[in-house]
Amino acid sequence: MTTANTKTPSLKTENTVWHNQQISKSQRAELKQQKPALLWYTGLSGSGKSTVANAVDALLFKLGCHSYLLDGDNVRHGLNGDLGFSDEARIENIRRISEVAKLFLDAGLVVSTAFISPFASDRALAKAKLEDGEFIEVFIDTPISVCEQRDPKGLYKKSRAGEIKDFTGIDSTYDVPTAPQIHVKTDTQSVEQCAEQIVGYLMAQGFISKADLS
């Protein structure tokens, strides 16, 4: 497990008070006829996190579920556009998205986050923010050799050439999940098979209603 030396930022300013909302999370979830859940996709760059997460989100939509996908690259275009890729910046990146995801869960949604999230300690912190059972770690397990062959953004090539520093799997650590709730292998499974496995888990655990996926 990797732990970076960084100070936890202040989570509130002076003279702020938490206001309880009139409508609860359980009421919002009951209206949607589902249980809030956070599908936390983690894996190396090029493993297929965003592709699988998008396929799952589309399948959930087809089934009439209320869901939303927070993609790592997309979030860095806005909310986290001020962050780099040092260990400290990666930790803050995950902290922010954890807080955003928690708000989406409060709205009763099934949320997906597709980030490398390389540090096990950060994934544990994200889990700790939620109620028991809401955090579902989805390990997109793809050998780095396959990821490097795919290299959809050309990042491995740039990293090998020394043009990118702190690249996960090359010169920055990736803590492999030891006990993920869902384990998929995109080098041997199709995107459709991965998506059906993940949605099947949500059905089996009672987060969404059981339905025919065919």
Give backbone dihedrals phi and psi of 132, rounded to 5 degrees, phi first: -55, 130
CB of 51 closer than 8 Å to CB of 122:
no
Give the separation between CA 111 and CA 69, rounded to whole angstroms. 6
CB of 210 closer than 8 Å to CB of 203:
yes
Name the CA radius of gyration of the chain, rounded: 18
The question of whether 117 is a catalytic residue gets the answer: yes
Catalytic residue among 50, 67, 117, 159: 117
Q: In what order do the strands lie in the sheet with 37-42?
A: 67-71, 110-114, 37-42, 135-140, 182-184
Nearest to 146 by CA among 186, 191, 174: 186
Q: Which helix (H) or strand (E) holds 68?
A: strand 67-71
User: Which residues, in sequence order, are CB contacts of 1 under 8 Å at separation 6+?
Assistant: 119, 120, 121, 175
The CA angle 7-177-48, to the nearest 5 degrees, is 100
Catalytic residue IDs? 117
